[in-house]
Amino acid sequence: MVQEAASLVSAQVELSVVAEQERRLAHAELRALRAQISPHFIYNALAAVAGEIHTRPEEARELLTDFAEFTRYLFRDGRSYVTLGEEIEHVERYLRLEQARFGDLRVLVDVPDDARGAVVPSMSIQPLVENAVRHGVERGAGSGRVQITARVNGGDVELEVSDDGAGIPPERVSAVLAGAGGGIGVSNVDARLRATFGERYALRIESTLGEGTTALMTVPNLRGEREAIEVAELA
């Protein structure tokens, strides 16, 4: 009995060590993601603001507020998890800045209230949206559509980020998820989802050449907002 008890305690200690390592990994990956935010985007956002100052000063003021709130959210410390509603507000600021840059960028956001309280890793939606803009809009000479939709499905919240760009060859999808090509955003999100919620919640990518790409993200529908975030932080 003593040996069995000792084995049980040893196993619990090992599990706690693994959980702590996964938690530290998730925090490190979040810091890495923040560090790689493109200076190119920052320059273009400020250039878009400058371009509106003389002709549309009110719009320039709103864009500058969006940029300030975007950077504040991006570089704040202490929270690795947020509600989906907070993350969507951050993404909408990003998209407004990109719309100022691309006149033909069409945006559709359909995230119902009953999904917005779900807990997600901080900075988990923005890299998916940035990827959609970069590959679906920039490569389309500034014209294209980015769509964000979410729905509650049983005990989960399912979210999709799609574009109508050129699409990804089927043999390249796994490489994108692995972070090939120099960008870590998508693979970073995938790693943090799996570390936080388990392999069942790994990020998925579906793409059709000539029609566009969709990133599919599923998270457990933890409720209670603040309390749920505290639970996720301790996970």
Q: What is the domain-level CATH number for residue 15?
A: 3.30.565.10
- pTM for this predicted structure: 0.76
Q: Give residue 52's pLDDT.
A: 82
Per residue in 161-213, pLDDT (tens digit) is 999 888 888 888 888 888 765 556 888 899 889 988 999 999 999 998 888 99
CA distance 93 to 116: 17
pLDDT at 230: 54
Q: What is the DSSP string of 138-176?
A: GGGTTEEEEEEEEEEETTEEEEEEEE-SS---GGGHHHH
Q: Tokens 């925090």 belong to which residue? A: 27
What residues have CB less than 8 Å from 27, skipping those under 6 apart? Answer: 80
Three-class SS of residue 216? strand
How many structural domains comprise the chain? 1
In terms of Cα–Cα distance, which of 176, 111, 181 is closest to 147?
111
Averaged confidence pLDDT in the chain = 79
What CA–CA distance (Å, rounded) separates 122 from 219?
13
Q: Which domain holds residue 109?
A: 2-234
134 backbone φψ class: left, alpha, beta (φ>0; ψ -120 to 50):
alpha
pLDDT score, position 181: 57
Of all residues in the chain, the percent with pLDDT exceeding 90 is: 33
Q: Tell me the three state secondary structure of residue 202.
A: coil
Q: Which helix (H) or strand (E) holds 82?
A: strand 81-83
Q: For position 59, what pLDDT does the model report?
A: 87
The 10s digit of each residue's pLDDT in 58-95 is 888 898 899 888 888 877 766 789 999 999 999 999 99
Q: Give the relative orientation of helices 84-101 and 57-75 as an angle to the nearest 10 degrees.
A: 140
